Chain A
Amino acid sequence: DAGVTQSPTHLIKTRGQQVTLRCSPKSGHDTVSWYQQALGQGPQFIFQYYEEEERQRGNFPDRFSGHQFPNYSSELNVNALLLGDSALYLCASSLERGGLDTQYFGPGTRLTVL
């Protein structure tokens, strides 16, 4: 049973650049959520995708955008990177149709902005 996968593992960018992170959900899951985890903090919700649409959004600026594809995989895009965007970006998948809300996390992408 394939778990949640994310790519790349690590990424280094400079201020002002753009980045795209990718996520494939756990086999059979249809919902993808993205979280940002700064050092020493709990994950913070960015947004959630279901049926290829953004269903919920946390308190993040429009520089953060995303997409979900027909195969349920998802991308997170961040434009005009700031130093404060340096964090671990986590993707979590879950199954809406099962009526269950348990979210399983991928290994994360460590983004460093210089």
Chain B
Amino acid sequence: QKEVEQNSGPLSVPEGAIASLNCTYSDRGSQSFFWYRQYSGKSPELIMSIYSNGDKEDGRFTAQLNKASQYVSLLIRDSQPSDSATYLCAVNPGYGGSQGNLIFGKGTKLSVKP
């Protein structure tokens, strides 16, 4: 059973701080990794994708991938109250062509306090 694990939280950080969200996955053959943000009652919105070991930065967001440790993380710098949401880690196991299905964690709820 392929699994993606996340701490459910809630993770509470003060405004302006760095929020660190973590995710582990069980399938060592996984090819691609995604972070989605989901506001309450809304659908998931793509924040970052990462395919290679190392860091990938986009604005205030940095995704980190370590395939040897089967670990993905998302850092949010200068956290804002508008970042308060549930963050979903998703993994593409990489079978069925380039378009595998996505396996999601349960999400980590982030709360940024003003």
Contact bitstring B29-56, A, C-beta under 8 A = 1, else 0 = 0011010100000111110010000000
Residue of A nearest to B6 (CB): A42
Chain B residues with Cβ below 8 Å from A108 are: 42-43
Within 8 A of A (CB), among B1-53: 4, 31-32, 34, 36, 42-46, 49
Residue total for A at the interface (Cβ-Cβ under 8 A): 29
Chain B residues with Cβ below 8 Å from A107 are: 42-43
B43 touches A42 (CB 8 A): no
A-B contact count (CB 8 A): 67
Binding site for B on A (CB under 8 A): 31, 33, 35, 40-45, 48, 50, 55-56, 58, 88, 90, 92, 94, 96, 99-108
The verdict on A101 contacting B99 (CB below 8 Å), with A106-B43, A108-B43 known, is yes
A33 touches B98 (CB 8 A): no
| 14 residue pairs A–B, Cβ–Cβ below 8 Å | A31-B99, A35-B104, A41-B106, A42-B106, A56-B96, A56-B101, A96-B99, A99-B98, A100-B98, A101-B31, A101-B32, A102-B46, A103-B46, A107-B43
